[in-house]
Structure 1
């Protein structure tokens, strides 16, 4: 893979990865077999059609939509949103087989994103070159009040 960007998981545990520089969607089955689920390896463009004929730019992401058994492709480079229908076998979840992997990945991604946002905020406050110029709200208010005093001539 070359610059994998986005990833999503279907109900069966298959993983779909946006392989952006190869302009293809890779599918990794629960058995570990990797295939191309959409796009043509190394051939970018904007072409709608069957998954093997579809073409994407080098800036796209994928999202699994369980209700329609499809992948949603957000192609930023071509300014398009497209849908790829998956085989029913990839969508039919076998109930009773345990906790769905998609929910676990979604929760983990949300937690990871939240932690990254907190870390970025903390690092930004420490590293900020303007950190020593910050004033409290009360200092700012006093400066504004003194500057705009109507009795002063």
Structure 2
């Protein structure tokens, strides 16, 4: 069926069997699932034609369409994360050599934080500390 264009310039004209239809080399094809039809925009003949399809040819599942698109993306993201971690662990010794961590020796790192036992500090919550510590001291005696 010609929807628009053609010699009569009117739409909704039956053209006859589909096997007799002719098209130019310059056309676009679109599927319309609501009407179960193909729309052909024939730029050369300046026509818009509709080919109605059988309903059994138009049955499709909406629920599974997105799943086939999402799983490859999820797999690609997971694979890239694992690959990044693997490459990071392999390259790490070359980027940060072990000599960088030698200055973090445990014996030397706390030297600047040693306590001066001769100097006392004021405790603002002495009563609270005594209330918490006194039951524990009873068991230590």
Common topology (TM > 0.5): no
TM-score (norm 2): 0.34
Which of 1 and 2 has higher RCO (CA within 8 Å, sep 6+)? Answer: 1
**Structure with larger Rg:** 2
Instruction: Looking at secondary structure, tell me which structure has more helix per residue.
Output: 2
TM-score (norm 1): 0.31
Instruction: Looking at secondary structure, tell me which structure has more strand per residue.
Output: 1
